[in-house]
Structure 1
């Protein structure tokens, strides 16, 4: 952090850092949670809930600056998603600081979904990375990940991936094994899901990933039509990238899904978090998407 960085602070940056400082003076640890997308919010929410039970800790969500939102479409969309998620989960706005990278005071920082994240300008704040996905995922956003000192690893295979990355000279991490908190609530509620099996028409969750040559790109919505012809109920949960403007999308999938409007046996999911829909489905149809691993936790 340089004197030049300090000169760029605006009044609301100073206000929030003063709050962080006050918490520290009161003997609390200040934890900063960073994500530029609503999807990243899902990975951090269980951690926030746990931290919120600790009286000696104050956890804050750090969102992009308003100026950053005006200049960058991703920041604008991501911040809107985050604010909607904050409202949905009844997180006090007193715990949501829209200051982007201008966090100077803090004891620890946790980030999800690297690439465009508002890393604190005070690089002395230890930063941990929560990986996107489970063991099948590679480590993404390589230039930014070296800014993190700690890896929250979901398991041994991810350790191996991280070690390979380390040998390439890109980063030096402490690895903390925290499991995969994103699906804790799924595991906790899985008994309720299993109790309704066989009591009604089966429901299938169609959840393909967005990548080229994956199920949606190759087959489109044909699997949905086949499931409906078989007399099944279908939940369609496309990846957020599939529902947006992305070069890999050969069709406007959001528009394509309108053909199912009014069909009582089809539920179209617009939210990013797939967890609630795992609990409503008997079977999943997917591909290389990480949600396939997550769905297994409900069995």
Structure 2
């Protein structure tokens, strides 16, 4: 359901256009250096939003919504045109409105820029910059501020349908939180993300702790599972989390071994391999009879 600008606490006017520089589209995706810088700044901004949320007693859901807005904004515009700090602050402020969370502009400005209301000139400048970006973001979102997150699907499946272990839930929850460092949160359906995260987390814990037939309750998209595994592993390598890197790499090694085993089993049971096996009666026949039988089978 879309909400109007008035409901979000703003008021439309003819002077509501941003006063920032002309828009500049993001560089092409093959610009490797830009993508590396963008990924680094995105991860740093997400960490900063979480610290701000902790200090201002803001729930994770608001931060997740802010990161969805952040990724959507920079899917169209460049970080070289719009400073990351200002965009991050605007996304968190708008995310608070979308999630009905109490967030005051002065608290965000103080945390992001270290400026208080007493520093009137600097404070007003940051406030105007954040407001400009917020209006630009609202236009880009086309006044649709509804965001559906994978959390509720994750909880529903693990708590109600599978009754998964505590370790399973905790690891899956952390993987989901860390996925907001990537653009998967705006590219994939939330229920598909939840199911894929459940499968990734299941591969990282002891198989004996998994309930029997749990996979029947969780549809899987192998390609999305691979993307989530790869994205989270890259993030943990970047952040230096050696423990989770080891866990995810161990899971990948197990998956490769299982894939090779299934491939070998498929070859052994394939029709071609079965045709090459001789029956006990075949071994009892003379070489001449075997040649005649082979010629008959070819002729038929």
TM-score, reference length from structure 1: 0.27
Mark the structure with the bigger radius of gyration. 2
Structure number with the higher helix fraction is 2
Greater share of residues in strand? 1
